Amino acid sequence: MANSNIKNYPKNVGIIMDGNGRWAIKNSLKISQGHKKGVEIVRNIVEDSVKHGIESLTLYAFSSENWNRPKAEINAIKKLVVEAINDQVEELKEKKVALKFFGHLDEFGKKILDKIKYAENETQTEKNKLNLNIALGHGGQQDIVDVIKKVSQKVIAKEIDLNKINVKTVLKNSSVPVDEIDLLIRTGGDKRISNFLLYQIAYAEIIFIKKYWPDFTSKDYIKCLYDFSKVSRRFGKRLNY
């Protein structure tokens, strides 16, 4: 089987899955059908990630700013989250994929919160092959604000020494389950981050894909992994050429 170390593939991948709406319009479908198709694509990419030894896959499913969308669209997305959990938990368990949701989850209401907790509990095993992190109601800026509040409280409670606060302190107190994204992919043609992770993408390689998310294939994904493997990651150092 493919091994990430041999191939130099990334350990931690993040994806901004953009373009569901435009895909739906292009195909004369309802926006909600674009999101539905988007969930199907997730299934394939998760499978590919397991196959290629990716350690974590972090997906941007709903941003803090997406609350500004029409109510009907938000409700359709909420419904899809519940359906996806119902349909896929068993399959994820079999594949040893551990689910984790993060973001301002309580804003989604009790029904979804309960579902999320169920899915997370069901899919935790001793030897997970892939950590699948879903950003729901996430905003990178909001997460940093949350970290500041949390760390400040710990400083006041004398649990943390102000002078000892460092990058690790921030990462440890963040709700984001992954510390460092190696490869960030954005579909849909736009070259922006849209408030995704921020702190954890400090040294990510970024690949922008023109295709809309529902058109993104396994082949496209493998090409991203391959292209990543060819990049010289210097982290500020002077390497011998």
Q: Name the binder of 54 from ligand IPE, Mg ion, none, CB < 5-8 A by kind.
A: none
Q: Which partner from the list Mg ion, ligand IPE, none does 8 bind, CB cut-off 5 to 8 Å by kind?
A: none
CB of 158 to ligand IPE, least distance (A): 39
Element (H, E) at 114: helix 110-123
**Catalytic-labelled residue, pool 12, 48, 66, 182:** 66
136-167 as b/e: b if 16+ CB within 10 A: bbbbbebbeeebeebbeebeeeeebeeeeeee
Q: Residue holding tokens 């400083």?
A: 155
17 vs 209, which CB is nearer to ligand IPE? 17
Per-residue binding letters, 179-208, with ligand IPE (x by CB under 6 A): ---------x-x-x-x--------------
**Contact string 41-80 vs ligand IPE (x = CB under 6 A):** -------------------xxxx-xx----------x---
Cβ neighbour number for residue 205 with a 10 Å cutoff? 16
Catalytic residue among 18, 48, 143, 182: 18
Residue burial 58-89, b: 16+ Cβ < 10 Å; e: rest: bbbbbbbebeeeeeebeebbbebbbebbeebb
Query: What residues make contact with Mg ion under the rule CB under 5 A?
Result: 18
How far apart (Å, rounded) are the C-alpha atoms in residues 35 and 31? 7
The answer to whether 131 is a known catalytic residue is: no
Contact between 22 and ligand IPE (CB under 6 A)?
yes
Has 18 been annotated as catalytic?
Answer: yes
Burial of 127 (0-12, 13-18, 19+ CB in 10 A): exposed
Residues in the site for ligand IPE, rule: CB under 6 A?
Answer: 16-22, 60-63, 65-66, 77, 188, 190, 192, 194
Annotated binding site: 18-23, 35, 63-65, 67, 69, 186, 192-194, 205
Q: Which residues are catalytic?
A: 18, 66
